Amino acid sequence: MIYQTLLLVIGLLILMSISSPSDASVDQAHDAKDSSVLSTRKSPHARIHPVPISSVRMMAGFWKPWMEANRTKGLPALLEQLEQHGVVDNFRRMSGRKAVERKGPYFSDSDLYKWMEGAAWAVASDEDAALESKLDAVIDDVAAAQRPDGYLNTFFVDDIEGQRFRNLSTEHELYCAGHLFQAAIAHYRATGKAALLKVAERFADYLVDHFGPGKIEQVDGHPEVEMALIELYRTTGRRSYLELAGFMISAQHFALRQQIGGHAVREGYIAAGAADYFAETGDEALHRALDVVWHDMSSGKVYITGGLGSRHGGEAVGNAYELPNERAYAETCAAISNAMWNFRMLGITGDGRYADMMERALYNGFLSGVSLDTAHWFYVNPLACWESYQRSAWFGCTCCPTNAVRMLASIPGYLYGTSDDGIWVHLYEDSQLEWCLSDGVKVLLTQETHYPWEGKVRLTVNPERDTEFSIHLRAPAWCSKLSVAVCGEKLSSEITNGYITISRKWKRGDNVELTMEMPVELMESDRRVAENRASAALQRGPLVYCLESTDNPGLSLRGVQISRTAKFEPRSGPELLGGVTVLAGVGTETPFEEGAPLYRPLGSLKSPEATQAQLTAIPYYAWANRGISQMEVWIPLAD
């Protein structure tokens, strides 16, 4: 009873804050942990709302070992790198704590902020006093560097202190600010501590004072701050942050967009910001532009891995169907931005095709950027490799590693969603969700699954008391055959917009069994993708596979072909690459004609005899973990 009263009061408080967002400071408005990637405050124009990271418990699933490695190895190793490269010292220098030279590119602050966000989400999931204390120390250094007026950027000091915002198109002060805000929000939600959030608010207030119509009307060349400002609005209730984000999105003419083009990461971020803004405001012009741009991206400008960026030049999305494999750029950050954008599209629409794209990006194009030990990274994620290419612990522009640690730590936030009528399961993962339904009933939802290695998912539903609500189960687009049973009884599982909705009065111990057939598929692409013509990629469930030379010794990988009817079988490899299911099949290897001319009349060469070749494919994300190798995703088809 006390519990219910408390909930009612909280509910009323939330309602009040939505109807009249106050400009009250953080301390007054929030004094409880709310560790979500996005706020659980219900955005009025969203159909699905996120859940806090702290409400999700990751069990023995696919992502848990990655998160564990990230928390215990990746994050500490990356902080050491940031220290070694002077990124933290830049802040100490600014506050006078350390007399050193400024080091790194002008946007290096953002790298520390992203690390901080990652560390915050990591401690939201798992207690880690050592990591938290490192984070607190870094926060102290950051806070001490803030200027009295709220401005904070370690590049603009000394001689150029007065030249703030002198070159927004390339010097990325607002991009850095955005990452500061996101780190602050994460820290606040993860720990309840408001120290960094206050720093963020002061800087955001400074931006509100300086940017907007009649003030500085330019925007940052690298979008990012839009999402961050809207999240800061959701966190603090200060509407001026939302308005500033709206001004920035409008200044970039997003609503007039007809296509995706240019820098891939920026394109994902601005679209994510626009989706956030729609969620708060219901701006229909933005929604239309989001639809058009998303269609342009998904129909011809995204890799099968969910990676974005076909050109090294400008780190850019290419023309339609311009999707080279060996020369793919597919920056790790771009797969992250694609996932973030699609998560928001899923939120505002409830349409599973966005969950499909998000899943594709997370399990493939994002994860390929991370080594198994979470301490070595790809910036560029090619889909074929014929010359030597390896992961690095650091890059001169090290945006990808720092982005990856925050994405790994925030995975729990992407699994579930909620709406007034119940709970959404977006990603299948061995995990638990503890949630309080809109009628106030607490429910514990347990997912048991070996996804993505197997297509079986068992949900156990434990409401505090019997209550009616809906569970929306995602029916992934990759799955052409699935079945659902509720408490052993088969359901005619109608799929609407990529989800199966099960509405009933649930009682303790009720269970749902979802069985997704997960055959190995030979995938083709639109024939306008020139490099994939007469080739097929192996896919099973959400995972794209590749042939890596390491698993196919003695073969000249480039001479391998498979038939259109090739059958590949999944084989569990618990000892391999942290535990993966490999695909085994048969193809052919045809040697190359030595000294043959590059161009010759069609069919004029007698082809060398093809020989049978046993092939082993591994998940694309796991390649390049065992030294120099060759690799390909798209395998030529034999005539």
The contact set with its own copies (CB under 8 A) reads 298-300, 302, 304, 311-313, 318-322, 324-327, 384, 386-387, 477, 480, 521-531, 533-537, 558, 564, 592, 596-603, 634, 636
Q: What angle do CA 594, 597, 603 make, to 5 degrees?
A: 95
Cβ nearer to its own copies, comparing 115 with 354: 354
Cβ nearer to its own copies, comparing 166 with 600: 600
Cβ nearer to its own copies, comparing 285 with 605: 605
Q: Of 293, 371, 362, 300, whose CA–CA distance to 334 is shortest? A: 362
**Shortest CB 378 distance to its own copies, Å:** 18
**Shortest CB 521 distance to its own copies, Å:** 5
Please say whether the beta carbons of 509 and 580 come within 8 A: no
Whether cis (ω within 30° of 0) applies to the bond prior to 76 is no
Cβ nearer to its own copies, comparing 324 with 352: 324
Cβ nearer to its own copies, comparing 456 with 558: 558
The two three-digit tokens of residue 330, written as one number: 């597919």
The two three-digit tokens of residue 340, written as one number: 């973030």
Please say whether the beta carbons of 223 and 274 come within 8 A: no
What does the alpha-carbon distance between residue 40 and residue 558 come to, in Å, rounded to a whole number?
A: 49
Residue 609: left if φ>0, alpha if ψ -120 to 50, beta else—which one?
beta
Compute φ and ψ for 536, nearest 5 degrees: -135, 150
**Shortest CB 539 distance to its own copies, Å:** 8
Cβ nearer to its own copies, comparing 192 with 591: 591
Residue type present at position 453 = W
**Shortest CB 429 distance to its own copies, Å:** 23
Cβ nearer to its own copies, comparing 584 with 610: 610
**Shortest CB 345 distance to its own copies, Å:** 17
Spell out the alpha helix ranges (H) of 282-419: 284-300, 332-349, 352-360, 399-410
Please say whether the beta carbons of 248 and 177 come within 8 A: no
Cβ nearer to its own copies, comparing 207 with 380: 380
Q: Of 370, 374, 402, 338, whose CA–CA distance to 119 is shortest? A: 402
Which helix (H) or strand (E) element contains residue 272? helix 264-281
* DSSP string for 325-344: STT----HHHHHHHHHHHHH
Please say whether the beta carbons of 610 and 576 come within 8 A: no
User: Is 90 in a helix, a strand, or coil?
Assistant: helix
What does the alpha-carbon distance between residue 103 and residue 428 come to, in Å, rounded to a whole number?
A: 43
What 3 state SS string does 465-476 have? CCEEEEEEEECC
What does the alpha-carbon distance between residue 253 and residue 272 come to, in Å, rounded to a whole number?
A: 14
Beta carbons within 10 angstroms of residue 607's beta carbon? 12
**Shortest CB 595 distance to its own copies, Å:** 8
Please say whether the beta carbons of 120 and 179 come within 8 A: no
DSSP state of 606: P
Residue type present at position 320 = A
Beta carbons within 10 angstroms of residue 297's beta carbon? 24
**Shortest CB 525 distance to its own copies, Å:** 5
User: Is 515 in a helix, a strand, or coil?
Assistant: strand
Handedness of CA 557, 560, 565, 567 (dihedral sign): negative
What does the alpha-carbon distance between residue 390 and residue 558 come to, in Å, rounded to a whole number?
A: 19
Q: Of 549, 563, 569, whose CA–CA distance to 610 is shortest? A: 563
Cβ nearer to its own copies, comparing 494 with 526: 526
β-strands 442-449, 384-385 pairing: unpaired
**Shortest CB 365 distance to its own copies, Å:** 13
Cβ nearer to its own copies, comparing 200 with 384: 384
**Shortest CB 633 distance to its own copies, Å:** 11
**Shortest CB 162 distance to its own copies, Å:** 28
Cβ nearer to its own copies, comparing 22 with 299: 299
Cβ nearer to its own copies, comparing 435 with 621: 621
What does the alpha-carbon distance between residue 155 and residue 153 come to, in Å, rounded to a whole number?
A: 6
**Shortest CB 324 distance to its own copies, Å:** 6
**Shortest CB 457 distance to its own copies, Å:** 22
Cβ nearer to its own copies, comparing 186 with 367: 367
**Shortest CB 355 distance to its own copies, Å:** 15
Cβ nearer to its own copies, comparing 127 with 387: 387
The two three-digit tokens of residue 75, written as one number: 């994050």
The two three-digit tokens of residue 277, written as one number: 């803004």
**Shortest CB 627 distance to its own copies, Å:** 20
